[in-house]
Amino acid sequence: MTRHAEMTPHAEMSPRRDYHDAVRALNALQTNHQILQQIRESGGRLNEHSIPEMRAFAEKLGHRASDFDRLRVVHVAGTKGKGSTCAFAAAILGQHPRRLRVGLFTSPHLIEVRERIQIDGAPLAADRFARYFFQVYDGLRAADPPLRRVHAGSPDMPMYFRFLTLMALHAFLAEGVDVAVLEVGVGGEYDSTNVVERPVVCGIAPLGIDHQATLGATIEEIAWHKAGIIKQGVPVFSAPQPAAAMAVVEARAAARAAPLQVVAPLAAADPAAARGLGIPGDHQRTNAALAAALCRAWAARTGLDPGGDAWIAAGLARARWPGRTQRFASPRLPRLAWLVDGAHTPESMAACARWFAAARDPPARCVLLFNAASERDAARLLDALHAAAGAAAGAAVPWAAAVFCPNAHAARADSTNHTVAVDAELRPQKAAAAHWAALAACPAAVLPSIPAAVRHIEAEAEAAAGPTCVLATGSLHLVGGVLDVAKGSL
């Protein structure tokens, strides 16, 4: 039993503190851009304290790290598709004949932060989110028991993502879930989700170059971090990887005596794919296959293998993952179709482009809405998008216009982002717009926020003679803002 069952001063939420209060307090824990810069300049050494600090925070709340083993965790790392893999896995486990209670922790959120912590396919209700938030928040702020200091510079409170990880684990224990599917935030070795010591099974989705500032500049360095979730003797399943990355994964698995199996993409004839995939896109066959392998292994290792593929097929068909290869019609303008995908690496951008080329409606005018994150090479992403879309369409996609904007979306506190300096947000948008204008030979505008960009596109679409098809991509933060402003929901 955890301490919070007995912590009467903090266990019950004050009636004056609701979900919005929780979001405001959570936003105050965000890592600002100066701290991120310190981590980068340290070569990642500051992150080496992450897991010991997470254990100390858990202990203050009355949780031993070993308590999290009761959640029978499926732990997934990767560069591309780890979130989709987790969504598939949670959906599959939700179709298990035993009617399992399934927890899912992912990031980032699209519209509301409570999306990150789901149970049985639904985000935590606002009142439950607030309850668990303040149980953790008040418990960590309490003077008794004192926090065990890992080193002289240990913080008194975990930062944003670490706090949410701790809160998710706390909530899953309180809710009595039968299984928790955890998506790594960044990397793996020092990621806060790696506080779980004995997952039932681990998965590594496709790897690529991303987050070089914190993970390293080479695929080998990045693979080392991602493979850090591998545990002693725990089976690990991997999607096919570049040779250099696979060599690192194999070495880390061997060092920890963890059986490693590489999973091929799901074939159309596979019985598990009999009912199709709930998340569209050919590249999702890789993520679906990995999820199916993880769930089969989980069922076998927990003594809950129902046999057959019916539950796997049902889960793959029912899976949903908003903001990834998602299409919706504008509720205000029937002639305007939005195609949104949170691609943010060259490989995922190419997959997004192929999906868009197949899903768009010729002869609709094509418009690009893009966010160039400061950490990423926008030119490489745009080059990948332009080339792959043209190759998939058999000819250059006739882009009519493009709009670039930062992830500014002040309508919701959930969307507040203190991790980027404000004055730096427009610079990459202007550079990306100039690059795309030359590449696609179309006008490219830069606007100050997501709402301004959406309204601009809607006005242009309303004035156009025919239908308009918009591809919004470049970051999940952008996609979440578009879903909120242009659609009003997930």
Distances (CA, A) of 438 to 305, 387, 399: 55, 14, 12
Alpha helices in 28-114 (DSSP H): 33-41, 50-60, 82-94
Task: Output the pLDDT for position 66.
Answer: 94
Choose among 321, 316, 327: nearest CA to 286. Answer: 316
In this structure, the answer to whether residues 246 and 337 fall within a common structural domain is no
- The DSSP result for 117-137, as a single string, is EEETTEEPPHHHHHHHHHHHH
Peptide bond into 108 cis (omega under 30): yes
In this structure, the answer to whether residues 294 and 331 fall within a common structural domain is no
In this structure, the answer to whether residues 211 and 79 fall within a common structural domain is yes
> How many whole angstroms separate alpha carbon 345 and alpha carbon 40?
20
Residue after which a domain boundary falls, among 254, 287, 318: 318
- The DSSP result for 271-282, as a single string, is GGGTT--SS-ST
In this structure, the answer to whether residues 154 and 17 fall within a common structural domain is yes
Q: At what angle do helices 50-60 and 126-141 cross, to 10 degrees?
A: 100
Q: Could you tell me the pTM of the whole model?
A: 0.90
In this structure, the answer to whether residues 80 and 177 fall within a common structural domain is yes
In this structure, the answer to whether residues 117 and 203 fall within a common structural domain is yes
In this structure, the answer to whether residues 140 and 96 fall within a common structural domain is yes
Do the Cβ atoms of 210 and 235 come closer than 8 Å?
Answer: no
The widest CA-to-CA distance across the chain, in whole angstroms, is 67
Residue after which a domain boundary falls, among 282, 297, 318: 318
Was 211 annotated as part of a binding site?
yes
Do the Cβ atoms of 229 and 77 come closer than 8 Å?
Answer: yes
What phi and psi values does residue 448 have, to the nearest 5 degrees?
-80, -15
Do the Cβ atoms of 478 and 472 come closer than 8 Å?
Answer: yes
**Which residue reads 């999906």 in tokens?**
355
In this structure, the answer to whether residues 332 and 314 fall within a common structural domain is no
Task: Output the pLDDT for position 6.
Answer: 38
Was 33 annotated as part of a binding site?
no
Rounded to 5 degrees, what angle do the CA atoms 315, 316, 319 make?
A: 80
Kindly state the DSSP code that residue 53 receives in the 8-state scheme. Answer: H
438, with CB counted inside 10 A (0-12, 13-18, 19+), is: exposed
> How many whole angstroms separate alpha carbon 310 and alpha carbon 305?
12
In this structure, the answer to whether residues 303 and 396 fall within a common structural domain is no
**Which residue reads 């790897």 in tokens?**
207
Which residues, including other chains, have CB under 8 Å from residue 454's CB and lie 6 or more apart?
Answer: 369, 481, 482, 485, 486
| pLDDT tens-digit profile, the chain (490 residues) | 344 433 433 444 555 799 999 999 999 997 756 566 666 666 656 578 899 999 999 999 999 999 999 999 999 999 999 999 999 999 999 999 999 999 999 999 999 999 999 999 999 999 999 999 999 999 999 988 889 988 877 889 999 999 999 999 999 999 999 999 999 999 999 999 999 999 999 999 999 988 777 888 899 999 999 999 999 999 999 999 999 999 999 999 999 999 999 999 999 888 888 899 999 989 999 999 999 999 999 999 999 999 999 999 999 999 999 999 999 999 999 999 999 999 988 989 999 999 999 999 888 999 999 998 764 689 999 999 999 998 987 777 889 999 999 988 755 666 666 555 556 788 999 999 999 999 999 999 999 999 999 999 999 999 999 999 999 999 999 999 999 999 988 7
Paired tokens of 209: 């170059």
> How many whole angstroms separate alpha carbon 237 and alpha carbon 253?
10
| CA distance from start to end of the chain | 36
Do the Cβ atoms of 149 and 56 come closer than 8 Å?
Answer: yes
**Which residue reads 């920890």 in tokens?**
256
Choose among 379, 428, 488, 476: nearest CA to 80. Answer: 476
Residue after which a domain boundary falls, among 249, 284, 318: 318
In this structure, the answer to whether residues 15 and 40 fall within a common structural domain is yes
The CATH number of whichever domain residue 236 belongs to comes to: 3.40.1190.10
In this structure, the answer to whether residues 255 and 378 fall within a common structural domain is no
Structurally, the chain folds into a number of domains equal to 2
In this structure, the answer to whether residues 396 and 412 fall within a common structural domain is yes
**Which residue reads 């486990």 in tokens?**
93
Task: Output the pLDDT for position 310.
Answer: 95
Was 107 annotated as part of a binding site?
yes
Task: Output the pLDDT for position 211.
Answer: 79
Domain encompassing residue 330: 326-487
The CATH number of whichever domain residue 436 belongs to comes to: 3.90.190.20
